[in-house]
Amino acid sequence: MKANSADIADFYRQMSLLLKSNLPLPESMRQLGLNLDKADLRSTLLDMSEGVSKGEGLADVMRRYPEYFPKFHVRMIEAAERSDMLPATLHEIAEIAYLDLQLARMVREISIYPLFGMGLAFLLWFGLFVGVVPQFGRIFDEMLEGEPLPWLTDKIMSLSDFLVAHQAGVLACWALLVLFLVWLFSGGVLARRMFIRIISKLPGAGSIYSNLNMARFCGIWSLLARRKVGAVESMEAITPLMDDWRVAAALSRVGDAVRKGEPLVAALREEKRISGMVALTVRHVPEKDLPDELANLALLFRERAASSTHKAGIIWAVVFFSLLIVSVGITVLSLFLPLISIIKKLGGG
């Protein structure tokens, strides 16, 4: 059994706890690896332990395994190693990893029923178009004696002819799609990343990832603020750690503006990609309390991301059932329209 995203999040959390206890990094990684049941991750951690014991940085050995450790995490760890913040950063990465995992699970739970319904509906429609619609076509040809079919019915008949002629290929594509969805819902590291990327493009998902980006930003800034890192240096450190290039560009501009003498609050307010809650917090919270308030703000954005996930699920369900109703209605209407001409013909009208 291969390691999944939950295993990686557990690794970060356990490493954070061990390092906070002042245990050596190589031995800690080795013990974690020896205690794992999953052979692929166990061998990975043992190999990483050997690299660290030879003087390599943790971020350097992680780069060898991009299938387990995202670039975002590696960049955070690389910055933490330079600033001696590795235990706290590993804890923050674990929190982010658990959040991503939780959101992915929530989205999977919400989307699995519409996707399952779409798959079942496709099979029913395929059977209808291959086995039933051609029978209606023959009836229409016999009863109408060469009269043209209504435009909508003609298009449905053409679609039916295409599916009948290519039914093997269509079923093969459907089977491949089912296998892809099974892999996508498997919970593996690469599958989870792909799943999040796909979901981020769907209607209603923008709020999820906007709040998630702000949660990451505030969480990392909180760590740096606890170390008394200035605003400019914090923006410079956080910018390359963000996955969304638009947020990264906004943070870079904030750092440049503050370096030129512009107040931090004003610089934050000018950026639409940065929530106004961040500027409001910086403005009204004393500097000594800022790390704790940024951590609280990160939690707030995480809760908002979870709430947005539920709202997006409602949108997707409504869209799916609307499409289903419209598709069924069009199919039924297309088969009904020629009956009007047949009835008139039989009645002599």
| In a domain? residue 74 | no
Chunk the chain into consecutive blocks of 10 residues (it has 349) and report each block's average pLDDT, rounded to whole numbers: 75 88 88 85 90 91 88 83 83 77 68 74 85 85 78 89 91 89 75 71 74 85 83 86 82 94 94 93 92 91 82 79 84 83 67
Last residue of a domain, one of 26, 49, 69: 69
Residue 207 lies in a domain: yes
- Per the structure, the complete domain to which residue 55 belongs is given by 5-69
Q: Are residues 59 and 107 in the same domain?
A: no
Cβ-based neighbours of 160, under 8 Å, separated by 6 or more: 129, 130, 133, 134, 137
**Co-location of 26 and 121 in the same domain:** no
Quick one: 276 exposed, middle or buried, by C-beta within 10 A (0-12, 13-18, 19+)?
A: exposed
Amino acid type, 275: S
For residue 118, what pLDDT is reported?
77
Query: For residue 240, what is the DSSP state?
Result: G
Instruction: Give the separation between CA 187 and CA 182, rounded to whole angstroms.
Output: 10
Do 133 and 61 belong to one domain?
no
For residue 276, is it within any domain? yes
Q: What are phi and psi of 2, to 5 degrees?
A: -85, 155
Given this model, what pLDDT does residue 251 score?
Answer: 94
Whether residue 56 sits in one domain with residue 181: no
199 in the same domain as 52: no
What would the two tokens of residue 200 be? 């981020």
Tell me, yes or no, whether 44 and 110 share the same domain: no
CA dihedral angle for residue 210, residue 213, residue 214, residue 218, rounded to 10 degrees: 180
Number of structural domains, the chain? 2
Q: Do 42 and 129 fall into the same domain?
A: no
245 with 333, same domain: the answer is: yes
Fill in the DSSP letter of residue 85: -
Q: Is 183 exposed, middle or buried (0-12, 13-18, 19+ CB in 10 A)?
A: middle
Note whether residue 81 is domain-resident: no
